[in-house]
Structure 1
Amino acid sequence: MEVPTGLFMAVSSEGFNSCGLRTEGTVECWGVNEQQEALDAPAGRFTAVYTGVYHSCGIRPDGEAACWGENDDGELEAPAGPFHSIATGKDVSCGLRTEGNVVCWGRGDESQIGVPTAQFTTVVAGEDHMCGLIVDGTVACWGNNSYGQLDAPGGRFTDVATGHEQTCGLKSDGTVTCWGRNYYGLLDAPGGRFTDLATGYGHSCGLRSDGTVTCWGTDYYGEVDAPDGLFTGIFSGSYHSCGIGTDGIAICWGLNTDDQANPPDERLTTIALGVRHSCGLKTNGTVVCWGTPWKGRTMAPDGEFTSVAAGVNHTCGLRADGVVVCWGDDELGQASPPGGLFVAVDTGGYHSCGLRADGTVECWGQNRIGQSDAPDDQFVAISVGGSHGCGLRADGTVDCWGSGTNQIDAPSTQFSAISAGSWYSCGLTQDSSVECWGRGRIDELRVPSGQFSAVANGFEHVCGIRIDQTIECWSWVSSLPEGVQWVGPTYGSGQ
């Protein structure tokens, strides 16, 4: 995600958009939002900014609130201040006035604006419920109570944080307790003492007194839970990954709803991963596929191949004679390659690209946002993502085309290999480190340091093989820094 240049003194993010408060007091917003006006901050000076899902609010120097974005339920109709702080939810906001009382505006069909009478020190917002920390240390919540979001326990708290449909509080003794919806262990806060607390859409994290971080809740499909062992190849799909062990046998992990993470017990040299199917190239050059066979995406033709690539519902293979053959869904022409000879082929979501012997690239299939309009240049390697492609030149520089939300803004670094994913791309630099670019999604992609020999992009995760042949994976969901660990269940065994 492209962040504007310049100096800022505060930033607020929610969903796919962010707003920053510049040092001179003006506000600038960026990101991707169905409501474009949510990114159009008004002119003038502010002292604070708060970003919601479809609207945002700021506090002016005189303490008055100004809001912008969607106004279907009066989200922009802030009452008179002055305000100390504001909490923005999906379509409701609440402001903490300087004298300690809270007033809310916007959607009120779930009593989101029905604030209890009390003096507060903090107010926070979930999707459609709100909570406040009262001056005596107790917590009061209001709004939607479908999952017990309002059932705050007794006792004294020093902090409170709301997620999508859950809330967690930091008690005065340093322990954490949570209430609300308990899918995937969201309320199963670990024991011990904490000094700070943060709650997201489907997980929470706490800062312990020793400086370490512990998180609980969803790890989505386990796509970042790489197995132990040594590997010679790594391959990532939308929500699952596979590695080829030193014995040539594949091991897969992550989403397995259609057996796409159940490879055959055969020696493979390379693997291509779609969303609900996977294909591998056997040592004899033939292709074997597994997963659901919808529209023939797993029905590989006979013959000898040198490489294979999988899209969402189609697969393409490069035969030993240089001809490209594709199978599976062909609704957008993604399985109808042009004639002639190629030296490499790769597939995106609904399009494919081939590299010819003279270094030129030709693409076919969906071209809604230019993903099949490869530049007129010469490349030594290509990699195709969901709706964009990238080419590696002989001098190590990269050029990308297609979807324009930063996936095509390749850095000037010199690379030895590249891998294009759905939201971002990564390259292996000439000193064997990994550098990524593209849309940051909810959290910035945290790329681990160190040296790697290979890198592979999935839909929202990346895996790399370190030079000691171990695998490390990271993602916007749970790419956590050193010292951070997940506790509680993971989701996505598919069994």
Structure 2
Amino acid sequence: MGESIRLSVVGMDDDGNKYPVQVTWSSNDPEIASIDEEGVLVALAKGTTEISYRYEDLERSVEIYVESKPVDRIDLSVHTWEELLLVEGASVTIQAETYGTMGVGASVPVRAKVDFTIEDPAVATIEDKFLEGVMWHVTIRGEAEGTTNLVITSPQAPEELELRVRIRVRAYDQPAAEWQTDALAAGFFTNCALAAGKAYCWGEGIFGGLGNGRDEISAVPVPVAGEHVFVQIGTRESHVCALDDENRTWCWGNNFAGALGTPQSVLGYSNVPVEVASAPPFAKLRVGNNRACGLTSEGKAYCWGLNSHGQLGIGTTSDEQPEPTAVVGDHVFVDIVFGGNVTCGLDVQGKIWCWGERTSALGLGEDIPHVNPAPVQLDVPTTFKSITAGYFHVCALDVDGDLWCWGNGEYGQLGIPVSFDLYFPTKIEIDHTFVAIYAGGRHTCGIDQDGAAWCWGANESGQLGVGDSLSSTHPRAVMGDLTFAELALGSSTTCGRTTEGYTYCWGDGSAGRRGDGTSSHAYYPMPVTAPTTEDGGEP
């Protein structure tokens, strides 16, 4: 029981020569043993049945007796102590693998019959299930708001071996969006947007990250203090920087290691924008954790803030570098992205350079110095048009539209079916072509040619926006049939702006990070609340 074998039929001509014969197969009891059109017989349950084969008008059958192999363990792709969350109309696939003890104490995978039962089919149903090798794949669909249990048993296992997964289905209710913005930035604590040159932020106000003169949480967007006209904005961890219409740089929030462009001993944090007075005029501004970089119109990079692992690329290391300092080398960069203690730049020729701490996200292998304070070119047989970085992984699109990733893959954020690190840029085989790619703390998203968003990686808070709480190693479509122009990924929150400018966030809602006035998680895109006069002015 649980095993498979391929059957075949041969004919014999008048001279005694054998030749293969194509026959039609059938099973008298497919619950005991099934057989497909290729003749693959699968033993499913203990018992006796007949397998028939037919060639033209000739039909024969053979009796099959199936014995069962004992199952002593069933492993699931979800934890039984965690609640599986689903949204009405959304489906999710989980896996179950059976094991039996063979020989002396050796537990090995065995092919076995497994029963999957939903206790309340009004809440959730089993949409599909199939056995592939020794692995069962079961697709569950959320039907209506409520809770129920998925019960997993096997007739080949002891009666006491019963697994139960709690399923909670939430209602699907996506209100119409009202707030139109021009740019987005998502961080680990704070999210921000630009609308008609005005900056608005929401979420955790610790260290003054909202920039509104207060250190309080706001679950709805509030205007950043001052009469600034901003054209770019960025955030990552606990500070925000923005570029105004005169190419001046302003920052607010936590000034750890001089991230605001001022020595930390002089300014611990600021809840209103302060100018980085020593910064040259920038054409592009990028913000990382406790550091930032700007690009001049000539593509020269200047960075400031935390430099303990050489992540500023200025040729030295230091705990603090508050003054914007030129990245070493004659590079002409078109973009800069930040990992945890790794920074990478894309140059005008489509080459990628990285610097900082020796981790897999550096993309230079394991046999390198622990600290790399100057840019090193990655050895990749192609050129690139865009790059993005999460906390411990980096992804890029090459000129042909192919996706390359490297770094930590523990949660599936690299888009490969195994959860290990890639120490060199690796081409990812996926069934999608993206025009834009974005990385968050432990997840990745892309926008395809039609403006549809696809996400993969960690999903414990719903940051993939696919209607459930399961992580994924492959791209899954974001719910809602929205057409996106831009995405911004934080740690466990994702925000998006449609082609009409309407603004949505989903995922972790703690401390008001989603901006809709609540602190709950959302498992699909939900509109960000438009600022009102009570919040400090219309957008």
Pairwise TM-score range, normalised by the shorter structure: 0.3 to 0.5
Q: Which has the higher contact order (CA 8 A, sep 6+)?
A: 2
TM-score in terms of structure 2 length: 0.44
Please identify which structure carries the higher strand content: 2
If you compute each CA radius of gyration, which structure gives the higher value, 1 or 2? 2
Give the TM-score normalised by the residue count of structure 1: 0.47
